[in-house]
């Protein structure tokens, strides 16, 4: 009887995890040449949160790169001390190398990622742009270009993920001064079960391709 209760509890816990969702909030702000990116990944109605922040995207030099702040928050407790790191060109090269290696070692990785993206829900998207070139005709022309670019990017995004709310796009011209202020808010949600399926498929395809490489080596030596 005890084992039955234990197994039932495990099954219920797995089901809860399976149908639980991950909320991803992305905020980008640019005001008077000061940039900020804030990415928050949370579960359980933001009870557990991981935040990734880049303040004032100032590249000191090619070798130093961009300063990044990371912190984990649990409930209403004070967040743990932020971890400061630098993203350098070398870091980006390592990421690119790892992703290229993953592409080589996993069957249909692009297809797996695309199917996973199909299960991502876009809950909110706000994109405001205040722009001015200091001259009315030039500002009017660039406003039209910005609208075209925004519309094209939203069309591409909607091709890969499910947008549940209508995107709110704004382009506000300023005919008196030169300026470029941007505010972008994007909230995405993905069920953990879909993420687990993607990870399992990647692992299976990685093992499958590894076995085929071993078999090809054996045939080649024979």
pLDDT tens for residues 109-129?
788 888 888 889 999 999 999
Question: Rg of the Cα trace of the chain?
Answer: 23
Average pLDDT, the chain: 79
Q: Say how far apart CA 206 and CA 37 lie, in whole Å.
A: 33
**Distance from first CA to last CA of the chain, Å, rounded?**
56
Residue 147 scores a pLDDT above 80: yes
- Choose between 85 and 191: higher pLDDT: 191
Beta bridge partners of 73: 49
For residue 185, CA distances in Å to 101, 102, 132 come to: 32, 30, 22
Three-state SS for 59?
coil
Q: In which element (H, E) is residue 74 found?
A: strand 66-74
């Amino acid at each position: 009887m005890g084992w039955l209760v234990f197994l039932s509890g495990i099954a219920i816990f797995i089901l809860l995890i399976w149908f639980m969702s991950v909320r991803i909030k992305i905020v980008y702000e640019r005001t008077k040449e000061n940039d900020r990116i804030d990415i928050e990944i949370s579960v359980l109605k933001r009870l557990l949160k991981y935040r990734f922040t880049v303040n004032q995207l100032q590249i000191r030099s090619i070798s130093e790169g961009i300063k990044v702040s990371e912190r984990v928050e649990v409930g209403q407790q004070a967040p743990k001390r932020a971890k400061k790191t630098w993203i350098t060109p070398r870091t980006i090269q390592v990421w690119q190398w790892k992703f290229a290696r993953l592409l080589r070692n996993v069957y249909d990785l692009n297809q797996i990622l695309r199917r996973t993206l199909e299960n991502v829900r876009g809950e909110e998207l706000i994109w405001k742009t205040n722009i001015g070139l200091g001259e009315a005709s030039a500002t009017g022309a660039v406003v039209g270009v910005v609208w075209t670019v925004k519309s094209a990017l939203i069309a591409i995004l909607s091709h890969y993920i499910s947008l549940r709310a209508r995107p709110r796009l704004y382009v506000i011209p300023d005919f008196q001064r030169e300026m470029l202020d941007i505010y972008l808010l994007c909230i995405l949600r993905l069920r953990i079960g879909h993420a687990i399926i993607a990870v399992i498929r990647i692992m299976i395809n990685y093992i499958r391709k590894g076995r085929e490489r071993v078999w090809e080596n054996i045939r080649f030596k024979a």
